[in-house]
Amino acid sequence: MTRVLVVWCPDWPMTAVGVDASAAGAVVERGQVAACTAAARAEGVRRGQRLRDAQRRCPELVVRERDRDAEGRLFEAVAGAVAELTPRVEVVRPGLCALSARGPARFYGGEEALRVLVQDTVVEAGYDCGAGVADGLFAAELAARAGQGGVVVPEGGAAAFLAPYPLSVLDRPELADLLRRLGVKTLGDFAALPSGHVAGRFGADGALAHRLARGEEPRPLAPVRAPADLSVRAAFDPPAEQAERVVFGAKRLAAELHEGLAAGGLACVRLEVAAGFADGRVLRRLWRHDGLSALAVAERVRWQLSAWQPQGAEAEQVWGGVTWLELVPDQLVPDEGRQEALWGRTTVTDRIARAADRVQALLGHRGITRPVLVGGRGPGEQVVRVPVGDLAPADPPGGPWPGGVGAPAPAVVPVSPPDAELLDASGGAVVVSARCEVSAPPAVLAVRGRAAAVTGWTGPWPADERWWDPGRARRRARFQVTTDDGAAYLLAVEGGRWHVEAVYD
Amino acid sequence: MPEAALRELVRDTAPPGARDTVPVLPALGPAVPGGLRPGSVVGLPGPGAASLGLALVAGVSRHGGEDGTGGWCGVVGLPEFGVAAAAGMGAAPERLLLVDEPGERWPDVVAALCEAVDLVLLCPPERPGAAAVRRLSALARKHGCVLTLTGAFAGDWAGTRLRLRMDGVVWDGLADGHGRLTGRRAEVVAEGRDAPGPGRRARVWLPAPDGTVKPDETVRPPLELVPEPVAHGGPVHRRPSALPPRVRVPVEEGIA
């Protein structure tokens, strides 16, 4: 049984968005509370609640959108502080990191001493945390949450330590619900069931949960000897000073690594990312892998690099850019199959992926995009361009958009709407009053210096958007206008200025 | 397995490059019968180029196939490309690749895309040089990709086999201060070597009120002379005859 020390930072998503632990705050994701501070919890705010319910319970709640990038980036500081004490820190997920306790405990004079030392180090770095030592990752995580800042569970005592916990800590709601109805309420009850029957009734996942409940490793570690060195490495010459370039290289490297692993029928549990700098320094970090896609690996590399960058311009001069990047698979296990499409539902042929890669090599990661239709009123707001390989936003395209411009959609949607002049018959500018009254019927439209007579017009269609947010509020009125040269325009007047929002070419 | 079934299987698994034509929307059929020739260059000079480009992209993109191996389009140098309008015409946005700002590397970008997609809609940011024209035309021919030119330099591409433009544009739905744009009736004119003689024409709704492209069947037949004289300002419509309906007698009964 491996002894594991886990450092757990409570409510990490809250820390990442900069909400103080003493204030009542919550981060939301898709309208639901993803995490909240202890103060908010005391008021009755819970994870998974709808934002509205949370705000009803706690009106002064500070609400932030969840920022996963910041979570990963900021946690680098914690992992770095722990790594000062002992190398080979494994980041399980932002907010939780683990290390093997056996060696360091001997060095620092016992597990309790190590636990207190690690906890103090992280607190000195400026983050609240709990640290716990136990057999295996699962028990250690609970040990880190137990008591005041964590406990040490003696060797072999994991099962007894876990027994009083409710089944919800297994993070398998369906299984927990089923077991509760069968009269099994705690991990101890569950662990007492014969394992053969559990596997027969609940399948492989149930058997895995059963092993967790008994304080055993979730799966018997089956590290196989790598037949060859599967690590991959890329050199940057001249040294890459832009993180983008390294991340792009990492994506290719990760694909290469996965190919090598797949050829051997292997998967790696952890991945070591090492970046070497021009002055010889090396930035190493272990990340939990567990079937990450190539893109997700590149994202980890970005986190690791961005944690180094904020140290300012002088750091860049001293370190001199990244000269090489290495991905080393750690703890290889047989691949039991886990496949997710990187591109969503549409399969992408190698042909397309190759072409997109080449364009990205020419123009950078954001050079080639795929459009995703989302909701919005104006024609420019209805499309989001997602760089090829990135995940599309999960916003549903539906929803009523009162005041939106109806079908048919315009064919030309300028990125920056050009200015226009709309004049009435007497040559004066057409003005729309605050009560949406048009000063005179428009007669002439001039766009980019070319004037044309107006043959038909309609409007104004007022759109008063985000009036609750002064920074992003927009108030405008839209017109549709046809001219005698056969063109049709969608015009918008905002603050007395006309511009062409779209052209029905 | 019978031979016929085998042959069918072989045909189904043929590579997409081996297709005969690149499909277009059915409404554009009269102007571009059968579809676009793979590897050809299509020019969109003049008015309505943006909508025609969208319609061509929609025609290719909606024929994706179950496995998604075909029907990809690349759009290069057109940051103002109306994705929503293309989707309205039937394009699948997930099979579009947009390169908004290719800069001076646009020939390399088009060359990379040519090998993968079925149609590239290109707006060259500068006057294309003869070498780039030759190279890209050859690449498009080799990979069976239709190169569609739009923008200010669309006419400067040597070897354009087909030019599409719009004629007789009428916008519907807008009046003096009320209504909303519902659709446009236009005539799509195809000219060039692939449409010899006076060219081919198709009357279409581009776009129709629901955003799609439809054949325009609202054109009225020319007026005809009414044969009967109009007396005393009476209505022109022929009145139904005042005679009582004739009673048909079965033949067998005969008339005595």
* pLDDT band with cut points at 50, 70 and 90 for residue B224: low
Q: Of A387-396, B13-22, B41-50, B219-228, where does the model show the most confidence?
A: B41-50
CB A10, CB A130: distance < 8 Å:
yes
Lowest-confidence region among A237-241, A500-504, B251-255 = B251-255
Mean pLDDT of B3-7: 59
Residue B81 belongs to domain with CATH number: 3.40.50.300
Q: Which residues of chain A does B69 touch, with a Cβ-Cβ cutoff of 8 Å?
A: 347, 349
Q: Write out the residue range of the structural domain in which residue B111 sits.
A: 19-167
Neighbour-count burial of A306, counting CB atoms closer than 10 A to its CB (0-12 exposed, 13-18 middle, 19+ buried): middle
Q: What integer pLDDT is reported at residue A216 of this predicted model?
A: 78
Q: How far apart are the first and last CA of chain B?
A: 73
Residue B243 lies in a domain: no
Lowest-confidence region among A183-197, A240-254, A362-376, A383-397 = A383-397
A53 or B12, which is more confident: A53
CATH class of A232-334: alpha beta
Residue B58 lies in a domain: yes
CB A144, CB A130: distance < 8 Å:
yes
Give ipTM to 2 decimals. Answer: 0.77
- Contact across the interface for A352 and B116, Cβ inside 8 Å: yes
Percentage of chain A exceeding pLDDT 70: 90
A396 or B123, which is more confident: B123
Which residues make Cβ contacts (< 8 Å) with residue A335, sequence separation at least 6?
A: A261, A262, A265, A266, A267
Q: Of A284-288, A331-335, B117-121, B250-254, where does the model show the most confidence?
A: B117-121
Write out the DSSP string of A319-333. H-SEEEEEEEEEEEE
Residue B11 lies in a domain: no
B11 or A68, which is more confident: A68
> For A232-243, what is each residue's pLDDT tens digit?
888 888 888 877
Mean of the per-residue pLDDT values of chain B:
80
Q: Looking at the complex, does the CB of residue A93 fall below 8 Å from at least one CB of chain B?
A: no
Residue B27 lies in a domain: yes
CB A494, CB A475: distance < 8 Å:
yes
> For B24-57, what is each residue's pLDDT tens digit?
888 988 888 888 888 899 999 878 899 999 999 9
What tokens were used for B159? 């070897």
> For A332-364, what is each residue's pLDDT tens digit?
777 655 444 444 434 556 678 778 877 877 787
Q: What integer pLDDT is reported at residue A444 of this predicted model?
A: 93
The pair phi, psi for residue A364, each rounded to 5°, is: 95, 170
Q: Looking at the complex, does the CB of residue B214 fall below 8 Å from at least one CB of chain A?
A: no
The pair phi, psi for residue B56, each rounded to 5°, is: -65, -45
Mean of the per-residue pLDDT values of chain A:
82
Residue B14 lies in a domain: no
CA dist A492 and A495 (Å) reads 10
CA dist A502 and A481 (Å) reads 11
What tokens were used for A407? 């079908």
Whether pTM > 0.90 for this model: the answer is no
Q: Looking at the complex, does the CB of residue A419 fall below 8 Å from at least one CB of chain B?
A: no
> For B163-178, what is each residue's pLDDT tens digit?
999 988 889 888 888 8
Q: At residue B142, does pLDDT exceed 80?
A: yes
* pLDDT band with cut points at 50, 70 and 90 for residue B232: low
Q: Looking at the complex, does the CB of residue B23 fall below 8 Å from at least one CB of chain A?
A: no
What tokens were used for A394? 């999960």
Q: At residue A423, does pLDDT exceed 80?
A: yes
Residue B212 lies in a domain: no
Residue B194 lies in a domain: no
The number of domains in chain B is 1
* pLDDT band with cut points at 50, 70 and 90 for residue A280: confident
The chain A residue lying nearest B55, using CA atoms, is A411
Residue found under tokens 């080639």: A368
Residue B184 forms beta bridges with which residues?
Answer: B171
- Contact across the interface for B177 and A441, Cβ inside 8 Å: yes
CB A39, CB A24: distance < 8 Å:
yes
Q: Looking at the complex, does the CB of residue A499 fall below 8 Å from at least one CB of chain B?
A: no
Q: In chain A, positions 209-238, which contact chain B (CB-CB < 8 Å)?
A: none
* pLDDT band with cut points at 50, 70 and 90 for residue A395: low
Q: In chain B, positions 37-96, which contact chain A (CB-CB < 8 Å)?
A: 47-51, 53-54, 67-69, 72, 74, 79-85, 87-88, 92-96
* pLDDT band with cut points at 50, 70 and 90 for residue B236: low
Q: What integer pLDDT is reported at residue A340 of this predicted model?
A: 41
Q: Looking at the complex, does the CB of residue A383 fall below 8 Å from at least one CB of chain B?
A: yes
Mean pLDDT of A101-124: 88
Mean pLDDT of A387-405: 72
H-type alpha helices, chain B: 3-12, 49-61, 83-89, 106-114, 130-143
